[in-house]
Amino acid sequence: MTEQLIILIEIILIDLVLAGDNAIIIGMVASKFEDSNRKKIIFWGIGGAVVLRILFTFITAYLLQISGLRLIGGILLLYICYKLYRDVIQNKIEEKNIEVDNSNLKKAIFTVILADVTMSLDNILGVAGAAGDHYTLLAFGLGLSILLMAFAANYTAKLIKKYSWISWVGLIAILFVAVQLIYEDLQILL
């Protein structure tokens, strides 16, 4: 297998495992509103989140090129692996405690954007770490995570729940990226 194909598979697995929780948050916030406002919240919330996710992904990809920051990114991914491992072992979906002011549409849209940005760090870091210097694959991973978040989250969540082995494969892919980031940085630093 070529290096780019391996990176592509890693990115797809990372996106599959990590993109679903963002869509669950969007659904939870939007569900507290009537249908016409629900569509606006989803559209504007995802739109704002997409813009910020694109910005953060390319900033993260740039920052991971700096010595020492890959080590930190790898350690953060190890923590994410631990949390994901705990969830896979306990076979549970963590309940997110997000308060929504359902009297104000703008506040709900802001809540969606804020929740996505804070919960996207794992996805952004994993994809940027796996892609390395391959910016075309980074853009593909970013696009895939956005598509999974916006359109296929329910299906992805059901797929992972039905076939729990997907979570394990995704966990291993994230662990591999974390170890790779730490190893690369230690080679430079030592």
Please state the domain extents for the chain: 3-189
The tokens describing 70, both together, are: 């890959």
The tokens describing 113, both together, are: 């954007």
User: Which residue from 89, 111, 116 is spatially nearest to 100, judged by alpha carbons?
Assistant: 111
In terms of Cβ atoms closer than 10 Å to its own Cβ (0-12, 13-18, 19+), residue 52 is middle
Distance CA 93, CA 178 (A): 23
What does the pLDDT read at residue 101?
58
Q: Are 177 and 81 in contact (CB under 8 A)?
A: no
Q: Where do runs of H (alpha helix) occur along 64-164? A: 69-90, 105-131, 135-150, 153-162
Residue 92, SS3 per DSSP: coil
The single residue listed with the structure tokens 């900033």 is 59
What does the pLDDT read at residue 93?
47
What does the pLDDT read at residue 95?
47
Residue at 138: amino acid letter = L
Distance CA 20, CA 93 (A): 11
DSSP 57: H
Q: Which residues of the chain have pLDDT under 50?
A: 93-95
User: Which residue from 5, 20, 2 is spatially nearest to 166, judged by alpha carbons?
Assistant: 20
Distance CA 112, CA 5 (A): 33
Q: Are 114 and 49 in contact (CB under 8 A)?
A: no
